[in-house]
Structures are given as structure tokens and as C-alpha cells.
Amino acid sequence: MARVAAIDCGTNSIRLLVADVTEREDGTSWLRDVHREMRVVRLGQGVDATGRLAPEAIERTRAALADYTNVLRRKGVQRARMVATSATRDASNREDFFAMTAELLGKEAEVISGDTEAELSFVGAVGDLDPAEGPFVVADIGGGSTELVLGTSSQAGAEVTAARSVDVGCVRITERCLSDDPPTSAQVAEAERFASEKLAEAFETVPVQGAKTFVGVAGTVTTLSAVAMRLDAYDAERIHLSRLSLDGIRETTDRLLGMTHDERAAINTIHPGRVDVIAGGALVVRVLAEQLADRAGITELRVSEHDILDGIALSLV
């Protein structure tokens, strides 16, 4: 058994998983969580407009990562891997970010491609699902990008058959299209057009027609599930493997888009760092769900609390 740590630094949040990895006799591995943590640092603040990481965003990320490295030492982590995704891929000054991570971790974060991000998310997402429910189409809706992955799973592990990352996520679409509070109908229509165009690029690469189960991962999707269930508090156990119908996605998205910032902030299940971008993220989920209904006949979303963090941890075996 090995104790490993996975750190995922995205456009909106930085997350940590410390887990014990056990290898089974058949060669597969399973994770036992030791510690999970998430901080909203908004590393991608303004990147879509300026092409640069804001100094204050790098500093917020530095503070969170410094705390995470202390956790790694306290928990006796043997191997660690930090990956950085959409915001750093887009930034002209990303070397400032790399220098900061090297200083704290002793090595630079890896900037992974969108396809690698998609594959790691898939491995984490399908681990608790019955392989008979596949082929699976997994969507990771992040802050700056969305990854769409098609694949199967079996006792031998997960197999990805197609993947694509496109530049649409909760932060990017909010900054680009949804400036009013609440957004106007014209802004919502523009956001829908933008999301549809970007997601169409993913469907050019990922042939979803044969998929049987739609799985969504990451904070936008899990928060959407919590809001749809009208939970009094965020409950990961209830959210994991929950189901959202297409009509439920539409109703919840319309409700969030019609709220003001303060009204969304009053919902206990929405993390304060997601309040200003959750409506945009929900819109991306809705557009994606509608396109999957048209292309594959899938009208239900399965929500997974396990995602790229789990895939990163398993990659360290």
C-alpha cells in the first residue's frame, strides 16, 4: 500500500486528495481517502480577456498550495503529482506560476493537455459505476474548459476510446457572456450560442451515439445536483451517484440564471467561490445534456464525486 497525493489546479479551484492506494491480486487498484480539500482561488481570473494570470490570482494559489504542502508532510505522503489545466495552458506568463509551484513542491506542476485531463477524469469518474452501464460519456465541466470523454470500464480497468477538451467552462462563459445580475435574456442566448459552438467541436471528435450513460464530474455538476435536490447542506454521500433528469437540469439552470448574486449566495449548498459562476456552469451542463439527448438519446445525468483527482492518484501506482 502506498500513500499518494494528487493536486489539481484548475481555472476556478485548487483541490487536494491524499489517499492510500492498494493493488489487488488481479492488478487493479483501489483508493481509500485520507484527506480531501478544495479551495476556490480563481487562478483563471481575467485570463480569457488578458491572456495573463493576474498576480493576485497567483498569490491566492500560492497560499492554498503552501497549506497543501504542509498537509502532505503531516500525512506522510510518499508520492505526489500536481497538474494544472485550462488557466495555465492559456496564460502568457505561466512561468510565474511554475516558479511558484517549484518553490513550494520542489518540482513544477505539470501542465497537462486537454486530452490527458479528459482521460484522468474518466478513470476517476467511472470507478464506482457498473461496467454494464457503459459505454460511458463523461463530462468534466471546469472553469475554463470542458472535457468530453467516451469509454468503457471492466475489471481490468477503464479504457478511453475518444476524448476532446474545448474552451468553455463556468468562469470563461460568465466573464464572456453573463455580465448582468441576473443576466439578461440576450446574454443567456449569447451564452447558449457560445456553449453550443464550443461543444460541437467536442462532438466532432467524440462519437457519443453508442453511449449508454452520461456521467458528470467536478464542482459545477455536483453543486447543480445539490441545488436540484434542495439539500440543506452539501452532502457528498447523497450527491455521489445521484441522478438528474434533463427536465431537472433545465429547471434548476433556469432558476439559477433568474437569481441575483445575493439570492444564489443564500443557498447553503453553493460554495461562496462558486456563487458568481454557477449559473454559467449550469448553462453549459444544460446545453451539453440537450445535445446528448439529441445525439445519443440519453436523458439522465449521473453525478460522480470522483473525478480527475482520483485519476491522478491512481496514475501514481
In the chain, what are the domains? 2-114 (3.30.420.40), 129-304 (3.30.420.150)
The closest alpha carbon to 53, from 88, 24, 105, belongs to 88
Which whole number is the average pLDDT over 293-315? 93
pLDDT of residue 180: 95
Cα dist from 130 to 127, 133, 134, 135, 242, whole Å: 8, 6, 8, 10, 14
The Cα–Cα gap between 133 and 212 comes to: 6
pTM: 0.82
Residue 58 — very low, low, confident or very high, per pLDDT cuts 50/70/90?
very high
> What confidence tens digit (pLDDT) does each residue in 72-88 have?
999 999 999 999 876 78
Work out the mean pLDDT of the chain and round it to a whole number.
92
| In contact, 118 and 83? CB cutoff 8 Å | no
pLDDT of residue 273: 87
| Least confident among 62-76, 87-101, 182-196 | 87-101
The closest alpha carbon to 69, from 103, 95, 44, belongs to 103
- If one compares 144 and 267, the residue with the highest pLDDT of the two is 267
Which whole number is the average pLDDT over 225-234? 96
Kindly tell me the burial class for residue 236, based on how many C-beta atoms sit within 10 Å of its own C-beta (0-12, 13-18, 19 or more): exposed
CA 219 to chain centre: 6
Cβ burial 67-106 (10 Å sphere, 16+ → b, else e): ebbeebeeeebeebbbbbbbbbbbbeebeebbebbeebbe
pLDDT of 211 over the 60 cut: yes
> What confidence tens digit (pLDDT) does each residue in 5-24 have?
999 998 888 999 999 988 76
Q: Give the type of residue at 35.
A: H
> What confidence tens digit (pLDDT) does each residue in 137-193 have?
999 998 888 989 999 987 767 789 999 989 899 999 999 999 999 999 999 999 999
pLDDT of residue 297: 96
- Assign residue 218 a region (left: φ > 0; alpha: ψ between -120 and 50; beta: otherwise): left
> What confidence tens digit (pLDDT) does each residue in 275-291 have?
999 999 999 999 999 99
